[in-house]
A and B are shown apart, each in its own frame.
Chain A
Amino acid sequence: MRKLILYLLLSFILSYGSYSVTILMIPNIIYKVFHYKIVNNQNVKDNELKHFDIPNDQSRDVVMPNPDFLYSTSFYDLSNGDLNLKGKMPDSTYWSVSFYKPNTVNWFVKNDNEFIDNNLDMKITLSNSDQENSIVSPLKKGFMIIRILVEKKDSKSIDYYKALQKSITLN
């Protein structure tokens, strides 16, 4: 009887422990899976920008994609120094730059209304900087998304926004 109670107690502690660790790790696992898919299926390295087309029903990289957006993404790594994000952005539609930790928490977002003009010029760094365009990443590694709203889906509008999207660079 004593042994049975001991086993039940051990089982409860281990189950609860693995439950808690799994809950804690689910966002990191989802992030890792996404990273793996992008690196292997899309052949994109860290610190490289991937410009995605407007999502459709074949898009399977991330759940709940917004079919009104052009997405550009990058898994960034500041191990080898700061990164500069530059580009010419639209001047009459919503666009934003957002950053995420490897546990998928969004730690920074800035949209077109918060930029002075449609020139995207940001430095991503690990150390505090007085430069107005710098943002300090809490971790060496993370993920960034640039969203451009494509309000009208005619081919002229899409081509225009795609050309702007392709002007974005990360170095």
Chain B
Amino acid sequence: MKNLSQNKILIPVVTLLSILLGIYIAVTKINSSTQNSELSIKNGNWTVNPNMDLKDNYQRAYIARIGVFALDEKEALYFLASKDSDGQILSSDFDYQIIGKPPKGRYWSYTLYGKDYFLVKNDHNIHAINKENFDINKPIIISSKRTEVNWLPSGNEKEFHITLRIYNPEKDVYENLESIKLPEIKRIEL
């Protein structure tokens, strides 16, 4: 009789806790994947997720979490960097220079996002450097301090991400994502 009563309590408790544990692990795993995903293609300090047919449930969840409503790889590629070329986390405590050209495509842009993947807050309403507003004779600088041109303000973000978007990338680009030459993000002293 006592055993039956124990079971009556224990089974619902085990059931509930197990379900919650599964949900917790799933959410934690997807959230932690946004920092270091084994699903992404890695190229230096950049990662890219081109497989937008997304038959894998886990990959689909991951993409929905970090870049919902993204486009397929022939339309746009989204390279994401959370660390500089030396493997250090990108932070507004430091200044950076982007060295090298973006891969070939119709249009490119660099955008800064905070840890929460929303645009970095800054008083100048500057959030991207792109093919059109870029001064070819000057380097692209990421800093909380204003620079003359090609400035991407890092605001007060202790951790941020850089996204390099390539719209209509050349075939050679999206077919060689692991080996194409990508720009470096070097920490500098301004």
Contacts and interface: CB of A to CB of B under 8 A. Distances in A.
A106 B70 contact: yes
A92 B130 CA distance: 16
Interface stretch (B15-23, B40-48, B81-89, B181-189): B15-23
B30 A104 contact: no
A5 interface: no
A55 interface: yes
Given A56-B125, A143-B69, A17 B109 contact: no
Contact of A23 (B30, B118, B121): B30
**Chain B residues touching A, majority SS:** mixed
Contact of A64 (B17, B25, B30, B117): B117
A109 interface: yes
A163 interface: no
Interface residues of A, number: 50
Contacts of B121: 57
Interface in B1-34: 10-11, 14-15, 17-23, 25-27, 29-30
Interface stretch (B54-62, B96-104, B136-144, B172-180): B54-62
Given A26-B26, A26-B61, A26-B64, A65 B18 contact: no
Interface in B48-95: 52-54, 57-58, 60-61, 63-72, 75, 78
A15 B25 contact: yes
A11 B17 contact: yes
Interface range for B: 35 or more
A15 B22 contact: yes
A34 B167 contact: no
Contacts, number: 159
B67 A153 contact: no
A137 B156 CA distance: 44
B10 A14 contact: no
B21 to A, nearest CB: 5
A27 B61 CA distance: 5
Q: Which of B58, B75, B118 has the most CB of A within 10 A?
A: B118
Contacts of B54: 105
Contact of A30 (B64, B71, B120): B64
B119 A59 contact: yes
B106 interface: yes
A76 interface: no
A104 B118 contact: no
Interface of A: 7, 10-24, 26-27, 30-31, 34, 55-57, 59-60, 62-68, 94, 96, 98, 100, 103-106, 109, 111, 113, 143, 145, 149, 151-153
Q: Which 7 pairs, one residue from A and one from B, show the smallest C-beta to C-beta distance?
A: A18-B22, A14-B18, A22-B26, A27-B64, A19-B22, A26-B61, A151-B132
Interface of B: 10-11, 14-15, 17-23, 25-27, 29-30, 52-54, 57-58, 60-61, 63-72, 75, 78, 106-107, 109, 111, 113, 116-122, 125, 127-128, 130-133, 163, 165, 167-168
